[in-house]
Amino acid sequence: MRQARITKTEKEFCPADVQEHLRSENIRDYLSLLYDKAYSELGLQQSKRDQLITLYAGIFSFMVSLVASKENAGILFAATGLIGIILSLIVIRYRVYKEVYWLCCQCITVFFGFEPKQLTKENIQSVFYKALCKRAKGYLVHRDDRVIFRKFKYIKNNLFSAETLYFLLIALLTSVIMAISAYALFPAAWRLPAAIAVGLIILLLLLRKYFVECMKIYLVAHQNTDTNFNKVFQKAWFLHFWV
């Protein structure tokens, strides 16, 4: 059984009546409620992501139409681009939590087959660990005595997923507005190459950050340490209950 320590920053999901639920015949009702909350949180993460993307698209349109002809347009576009970078990082955070909450939902469905006395810290963490490994299984390869995570396969398989395309939208808007900023700020002879270079660099850095953060969820599948496990499990606060 997989068991890991609880980190100091880990959130605890432990309502006042949790022990009563766990020791009563209504354990399945409690798990149903917990599943509904986790599933609702999935939708909430997606809704927040969509709102941020819509907000930045509006900001992008407004800035392009308002300040394109102004003398300080380059600085204003750069400031707007920085806002885009910050919002992109927030969208990445939503994506990571959405993945973890989906794993929580999978785990909770397994707990329906448990007796109340089986809902211990060790068993809960063991189920979560197995869910992580199952999701990562297609990206793991054994070489000699090592287990390697196939990063390029993960990127290839997820590059055109709906989640990635949504992120690509805000990443593209951010890179375009930063490219416009570079075009406005650089001398005439360097404007076009500088704009292309800045736009591509911003886009690639944001995509790299997106995939790195997504893959960090599954680090424990090939680097089985308490540290890696706790970094993911502390986000799975729906599972932080046990007898």
Residue 219 domain-assigned? Answer: yes
- What pLDDT score was predicted for residue 151? 86
* pLDDT (tens digit per residue) in 27-39: 888 888 889 998 9
CA-nearest of 171, 207, 188, 219 to 60 is 171
Res 135 pLDDT > 60: yes
Whether the Cβ atoms of residue 52 and residue 163 lie closer than 8 Å to each other: no
- What pLDDT score was predicted for residue 63? 79
Residue 170 buriedness (CB in 10 A; 0-12 / 13-18 / 19+): buried
- What pLDDT score was predicted for residue 15? 45
| DSSP 8-state class, residue 186 | S
- What pLDDT score was predicted for residue 42? 87
Res 23 pLDDT > 50: no
Number of domains in the chain: 1
pTM: 0.83
Residue 40 domain-assigned? Answer: yes
Whether the Cβ atoms of residue 193 and residue 205 lie closer than 8 Å to each other: no
* pLDDT (tens digit per residue) in 179-229: 989 988 888 889 899 999 999 999 999 999 999 999 888 878 777 778 888
Based on C-alpha coordinates, what's the Rg of the chain?
A: 22
- What pLDDT score was predicted for residue 5? 43
Residue 176 domain-assigned? Answer: yes
Residue 30 domain-assigned? Answer: yes
Residue 5 domain-assigned? Answer: no
Q: Where are the alpha helices (DSSP H) in the chain?
A: 18-22, 27-67, 73-111, 121-136, 151-158, 162-185, 191-216, 226-233
Residue 4 domain-assigned? Answer: no
Domain that holds residue 145: 18-239
Residue 215 domain-assigned? Answer: yes
Residue 8 domain-assigned? Answer: no
Rounded distance between C-alpha atoms, residue 42 and residue 39, angstroms: 5
